[in-house]
Structure 1
Amino acid sequence: MAHPAPTAESTHSAPSTHTAQSTWPTTLRTVLGASTVVLLVLLAFVWPSYLSKVKDLPLVVAGPPAALTQIQAGLGKSGAFDITTVADRAAAESAIKQRDAYGAVVASPSGVEFLTASAASTVVSQALNQAAAGITAQAAAAGQQPPKVTVTDIAPLSPDDPRGAGFAVAGLPLAMGGMLGGVLISLLVAGHRRRLAAVTGYAVLAGLLLAAVLGPWLGILVGSFVMEWAIISAALFATGAFIVGMNGLIGRAGIALGAIVTLFIGNPLSSLTIPKEMLPWHWGEIGQFFVPGAAGTLLRLESYFPDASTLRPWLVLAAWALVGVVTLWFGRHADEEVLHIDGATEPETAPALAS
């Protein structure tokens, strides 16, 4: 029995069993690329801490010349401290509160007092506590009457965060938050006016939520809530605007560039967990010119060192924000969609998809 010839309709309606598959070279490149990215992520977060060492930490001393000579000989030989002499205890305390020194040693006829600032660095505070214990141990080993040694924490951490672990971890939500906002706005919002409005609104609202969690809720930040809100919002705006601006300037590659600068360069060099002097070469100082480092410094100063100058970190945040706004507004990709979602743009003004 003859079978009828297939019609055009039946031919087109038959399901296709063909499935596109990547080439082997593409598969290999993907594996190598992903492995390289993982390696770079590991190096970015581990390298600064792994190569850090206690060195060149600013320390001030005060007291009689004979006592100062002995103190400098004991603490300066290791290279851990960069020692400066000040007039008296008041000057030493002022240097700590203005962030010119991590600690101080004050000698007097009544004994030796170590001034620490755990809010500046728990690492340095612990080192000075060990040095204080060492004076008593050395005197006892030599059969001498040990001097009276006291330790005073001039700038203690919050009672809710006595070891500073919460403050150290707080830097990651700042970096991740700014990056997340910038990426999502770049992908989902089209039009330079709407993108700028989205970055601003996100920075204000997310900054409020993060400040509420880190401040009143967890007690990690103990300064003015309004100032902490302003600092966090400024950091989120600077990062978000930079990422959106880079997308507007060079297209989709700008999103990746902004994320790399924020998370893999700025965050590891922020010096939130260790003093900037302990990082290799000048990386600690360089890190203060990125958003995570500047924002972390501002939050530390606002919470624990109100006498210190905040001009430089504010200027750093302002500079990153300005770069972001300019590139966001004038970039040739500023009004292009990156990811199209039906109904997300107005039909009469919807721009073409980015190439």
Structure 2
Amino acid sequence: MSTPAHPSARTPWGRGVALGLVLAVVVSIIVLAFSWPAVTSEPRDLPVAITGPAEQLAMVEQAVTENAEGAVALTEVDDRDAAVDAIEGREVYGAVVLGQAPEVLTSSAASPVAAQLLGGIAAQLQQQAAQAAAAAGAPAPTVAVTDVVPLLDTDPRGAGMTAASFPLVLGGMIGGIAITMAIGGVWRRVAALLAYSVAAGLAIAGILQGWFAVLAGAYLLNAAAFGLSLLAIGATIVGFASIVGRPGIALGPVLFLLIANPISGAAMPREFLPAPWGEVGQWFPPGAGATLVRDLSYFPGADTTFPWLVLAVWAAGGLVLAAIGHFRSSGPLVIAESDETQPAAA
């Protein structure tokens, strides 16, 4: 018996070089996808509420425009209570309250980076108040900083909340790819995917909320958010594979890991991303899932209709693709008889 030739002896030189160049392009795209948001991120029209006497409003708005041009978008509200409502409803990231007792309201649960930016605005207000008081010969008021919606004591830097978005993408892809590779038959894949999404959603929420305590809110709602996020990604992969076959599996990582995940806004406010990518990212499961988990955990008063709908549409769309692929490729069912069921030879 002859010994098989070594693979290097059978592969043409040109094909090897071409493969190396293709892999270099793939790695470059991966590096670009994951580094681009961090390198280009900066505050862009971060919504912040402001309230107080008219003369102070004009002065502060001018100062913010001069010192942080384009970084903050101020929205006037009636009073402090209205500012707090806007923060808790996820309409703004913080607020500036002017008057006899100036105050800056932050929300580290919405974004520690945005809260740090608002702390810088509080320092500027304190400096202005000191200068005005010195000119008037009066004591300077202290600008208080109040964290209206703080992070949990078990997650003071928000690292756990940021990490909670990772299982959404990875778990959805693992489920969709593994089920597609291991299970034959579209409806069997759908059944396995539904079981996986429910069980994994309960498990992930249990680990992050019950064990690590980095999530708050209702456990079953958090589990539903994780489960629907996994289903939205996994069903899309199963649907792609049903339509175009095994090559469709590769579309999932490209779409969700390389495109949607970097613009999801999970690690930073979506306003920090170049327009319009921050808003575009909310139309994909990674962005909608991350926003939904944060809102359910910290902002029960926020309107979560949009992220729920985004996830539901992706999940339904994936299941529809799976059904289309099934009916398009279905034909007469042929059942091969096994040796045990065949009649014995005479």
The yes-or-no answer on 1:28 pairing with 2:22 is no
Alignment of 1:182-201 (within 5 A): 182-201=176-195
Identify the match of residue 102 of structure 1 among 70, 79, 93.
93
Aligned-partner Cα distance in 1 for 2:11–2:335: 35
Q: Distance in 2 between matches of 1:17 and 1:127?
A: 65
Q: 1:160-175 counterparts in 2 under 5 A?
A: 160-175=154-169
3-state DSSP of counterpart to 1:84: strand
Equivalent residue letter for 1:71: V
* Number of residue pairs matched by the alignment: 327
For residue 333 of structure 1, report the CA deviation from its aligned partner.
Answer: 9.3
Shift of the 334–203 alpha-carbon distance from structure 1 to 2, 3 Å rule, reads farther
- DSSP 3-state at the match of 1:156: coil
Written as runs of structure 1 = structure 2, the 5 A alignment for 1:30-69 is 30-69=19-58
User: Of 230, 235, 245, which residue of structure 2 is paired with 1:241?
Assistant: 235
2:3 maps to amino acid: S
Aligned counterparts of 1:122 and 1:347: Cα–Cα separation in 2: 60
* Alignment map for 1:110-189 (pairs within 5 Å): 111-140=101-130, 143-144=134-135, 145-189=139-183
* Counterpart position of 1:352: none
- 3-state SS of the aligned residue for 2:98? strand
Query: Which residue number in structure 1 is paired with residue 314 of structure 2?
Result: 320
Change over 3 Å in CA distance of 1:17–1:256 after alignment to 2 = closer
Cα 1:258–1:334 shift into 2, 3 Å: farther
1:70 pairs, out of 59, 76, 79, with 59
Distance 1:69 1:134, change over 3 A: same
Distance across 2 between alignment mates of 1:204 and 1:334? 28
Report the CA distance between 1:146 and its aligned residue.
2.2
Seq. identity, %: 42
Match of 1:273 in 2: 267
Please state whether the residue corresponding to 1:308 is helix, strand or coil: coil
Q: 5 Å matches for 1:73-92?
A: 73-77=62-66, 78=68, 79-92=70-83
Cα pair 1:72 1:83 within 8 Å, conserved: yes
Q: Please tell me the root mean square deviation across aligned C-alpha atoms, in Å.
A: 2.1
CA distance in 2, matches of 1:205, 1:334: 31
Corresponding position of 1:341: none
**Paired residues of 1:211 and 1:229 also in contact (CA < 8 A):** yes
Following the alignment from structure 1 to structure 2, what is the Cα–Cα distance between the partners of residues 147 and 286?
43
Determine the structure 2 residue equivalent to 1:18: 5
Q: Distance in 2 between matches of 1:334 and 1:225?
A: 40
> Are 1:117 and 1:156, in contact at CA under 8 Å, matched by a contact in 2?
yes
Structure 2: which amino acid aligns with 1:34? L
Q: Which amino acid aligns with 1:124?
A: A
Question: For residue 55 of structure 1, what is the amino acid of its counterpart?
Answer: R
Please identify which structure carries the higher helix content: 2
C-alpha contact 1:328 1:334 (8 A) present in aligned 2: no
Q: Specify every segment of 5 or more residues in structure 2 that has no aligned partner in the other structure, as ranges.
A: 338-346
**Structure-1 separation of matches of 2:273 and 2:159:** 19
Task: Calculate the TM-score normalised by the size of structure 1.
Answer: 0.87
Q: Distance in 1 between matches of 2:160 and 2:328?
A: 38
Distance 1:347 1:212, change over 3 A: farther
The answer to whether the Cα contact below 8 Å between 1:59 and 1:84 also exists between their aligned partners in 2 is yes
1:279 counterpart letter in structure 2: L
TM-score by length of 2: 0.90
- Amino acid of the structure 2 residue aligned with 1:325: L
Cα distance, 1:206 vs structure 2: 1.3
